[in-house]
């Protein structure tokens, strides 16, 4: 099934990057992506070089393109079981790195499409991390960027549509507008307290403190800095300037090891505008500046 009335570009019948059918599986989830490009018409061409595809793409103006029929398996999640059971929706950005912003028109159209899919496949309520997922849930990727923090907004608006509220653009909403996520802490909370941090950052200083080698990085730390609360144990990190990954010379670039790059925020401090994460390495909670951490995520 496909949403009717949508433009289908490029005659995807000859488009090679999807699998016919779903191998007996049914659709039970939606995976949200951003394109990391501003032009959705360029996406199928990019896919041809990458063995990738998605069912839908939404432009900056909220126009929806259907690329792969819903009955077929698109190659978007980086996880085969997920591909077989999901519909992938791509979203155009309005600018590129580092922000990869998403237009509000795109979010609105996404909610409309999500509502339609949820209704047709009998999802019931649309719930982030139950039937509406960010791409990063299934593979190591920064995708879908900002949209991770907008999953709840998309779900709320989709549910409002399906519960009889109809499609009401935010600008003209007359009844109880949904609160818009504003602070970094609210954005993390709106995203189910999840974080993904693939980026690198500068090791300003590495010291043995409290019996643990730790890194201080102004790019992430909450201020005022204290080694006990804000130092990052080197065992969580890789030194990107050292092939062995272990030197941690001051001024070098470091990144979290893959197994620590994603997880759940354990505590928030509104007063300090900080997020606290226990990496379960035995060293308790590390506090990061919420805005710095969000901007690195």
Q: Could you list the residues that contact Zn ion (CB under 5 A)?
A: 33, 135, 143
b (16+ CB within 10 A) / e for 199-237? bbbbbebbeeeeebbbbbbebbbbeeeeeebbbbbbebb
Distance, in Å, from the CA atom of 244 to the CA atom of 199, rounded to the nearest integer, reads 19
Whether the Cβ atoms of residue 252 and residue 240 lie closer than 8 Å to each other: yes
| Shortest reach from residue 141's CB to Zn ion, in Å | 6
Please, which residue, 12 or 47, has the CB nearer to Zn ion?
Answer: 47
Tokens of 52: 């990738």
Query: Residue 207: left (phi > 0), alpha (psi -120 to 50), or beta?
Result: beta
Distance, in Å, from the CA atom of 14 to the CA atom of 105, rounded to the nearest integer, reads 30
**Residue ranges with strand state E in 92-204:** 132-134, 194-196, 200-202
Please, which residue, 33 or 216, has the CB nearer to Zn ion?
Answer: 33
Please, which residue, 76 or 296, has the CB nearer to Zn ion?
Answer: 76
| Shortest reach from residue 5's CB to Zn ion, in Å | 25
| Shortest reach from residue 234's CB to Zn ion, in Å | 31
Please, which residue, 29 or 33, has the CB nearer to Zn ion?
Answer: 33
| Shortest reach from residue 242's CB to Zn ion, in Å | 31
Please, which residue, 33 or 292, has the CB nearer to Zn ion?
Answer: 33
| Shortest reach from residue 145's CB to Zn ion, in Å | 9
Handedness of CA 82, 87, 89, 90 (dihedral sign): positive
| Shortest reach from residue 139's CB to Zn ion, in Å | 8
The tokens 């912003």 sit on which residue?
Answer: 101
DSSP single-letter state for residue 258: G
Please, which residue, 83 or 214, has the CB nearer to Zn ion?
Answer: 83
Q: Residue 282 contacts by C-beta under 8 Å, 6 or more apart in sequence?
A: none
| Shortest reach from residue 35's CB to Zn ion, in Å | 8
Q: What is the CA radius of gyration of the chain?
A: 21
Please, which residue, 90 or 153, has the CB nearer to Zn ion?
Answer: 90
The tokens 């989709």 sit on which residue?
Answer: 158
DSSP single-letter state for residue 7: B
């Amino acid at each position: 099934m496909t949403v009717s009335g949508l433009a289908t570009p490029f005659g995807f019948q000859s488009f090679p990057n999807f699998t016919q059918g779903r191998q007996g599986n049914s659709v039970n989830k939606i995976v949200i992506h951003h394109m990391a490009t501003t032009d959705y018409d360029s996406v199928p061409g990019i896919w041809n070089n990458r063995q990738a595809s998605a069912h839908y793409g939404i432009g900056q103006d909220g126009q929806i393109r259907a690329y792969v029929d819903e009955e077929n398996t698109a190659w978007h999640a980086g996880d085969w079981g997920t591909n077989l059971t999901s519909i992938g929706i791509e979203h155009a950005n309005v600018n590129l790195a580092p922000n990869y912003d998403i237009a509000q028109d795109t979010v609105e159209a996404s909610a409309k499409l999500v509502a339609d899919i949820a209704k047709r496949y009998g999802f019931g309520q649309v719930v982030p991390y139950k039937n509406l997922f960010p791409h990063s849930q299934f593979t190591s990727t920064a995708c879908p960027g900002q949209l991770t923090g907008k999953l709840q907004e998309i779900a709320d608006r989709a549910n409002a549509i399906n519960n009889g509220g109809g499609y009401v653009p935010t600008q003209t909403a007359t009844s109880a507008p949904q609160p818009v996520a504003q602070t970094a802490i609210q954005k993390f909370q709106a995203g189910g307290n999840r974080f993904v941090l693939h980026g690198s950052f500068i090791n300003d200083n590495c010291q043995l403190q409290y019996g643990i080698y730790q890194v201080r990085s102004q790019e992430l730390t909450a201020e005022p800095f204290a080694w006990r609360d804000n130092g990052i144990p080197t065992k969580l990190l890789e030194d990107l300037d050292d092939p062995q990954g272990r030197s941690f010379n001051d001024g070098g670039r470091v990144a979290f090891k893959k197994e620590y790059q994603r997880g759940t925020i354990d505590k928030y401090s509104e007063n300090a505008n900080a997020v606290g994460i226990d990496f379960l390495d035995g060293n308790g909670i590390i506090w990061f500046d919420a805005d710095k951490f969000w901007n690195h995520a």
